[in-house]
Each structure stands twice: as C-alpha cells, then as structure tokens.
Amino acid sequence: MNHEEAACKLGVAPASLTPAPPAPRFAETWARMQREPPCSACRRPSRTSGVIHDPTHGPRWLDRCRECFLATPPTLRVPPTRFLEELRAVAADARLPLHTYTDESGWEGE
C-alpha cells in the first residue's frame, strides 16, 4: 500500500501530521528517521518516514514504528515473482551469490 493508504488504515488524520517537503531527497528522509520521531499512529519511536500528499493539508510526514510499518507494508511496483526474477538476473550478471527466502505460503499475490 502507498503512504496515503497506510495513514488511512492506521487511522492517522493528515491534519495531525507535520508539514513536509513535497518530494524530499533521500538525505532529508534519512535525517528525519535518525531523529526517531514518534510514530504517527501509536507514538512509539518510528523506524521509517515517508510523505503523504493530502489534497486539503498538502504534503505531510508519515512516521511509522516497526509494528505499524509491518501492519501497512508497501506494495511492490511489480509482482513479487517478477521482482525476484529480475533480482536473480542482476545478481547473476554481477556474479553475486543470492539466496531468497519466503515463508511456506509464499507472498501475498504470488
């Protein structure tokens, strides 16, 4: 899911979030994550930060702790099987060993 969907699922109101740049550079996001702001949903120390784009309030920081992030995982832009195929091809081209693991049921959508 995207950041907006994650905020909705976690019950986070965009008005309660800190204003953010529309398209922060990685260094800006990394610097924010290093400060471990409180999770936008549960107030525990966050482990990840991203920006939601709310039509009423503009760009806002969405910070999530480990548990809230795992409850709202990001969606891959390609199906997991295709992602793994491409990853294996790149690793083979670079002559790097690659081991992938999934649970017994595989990934959702696979």
pLDDT of residue 110: 43
pLDDT of residue 109: 46
Q: What is the pLDDT along the chain (110 residues), one digit of tens a residue?
A: 899 999 999 999 999 999 999 999 999 999 999 999 999 999 999 999 999 999 999 999 999 999 999 999 888 778 878 888 888 999 999 999 888 776 666 555 44
pLDDT of residue 106: 59
- Please check whether residue 50 is in contact with residue 29, taking contact to mean a CB–CB distance below 8 angstroms: yes
Instruction: Give the whole-angstrom CA distance, residue 32 versus residue 39.
Output: 12
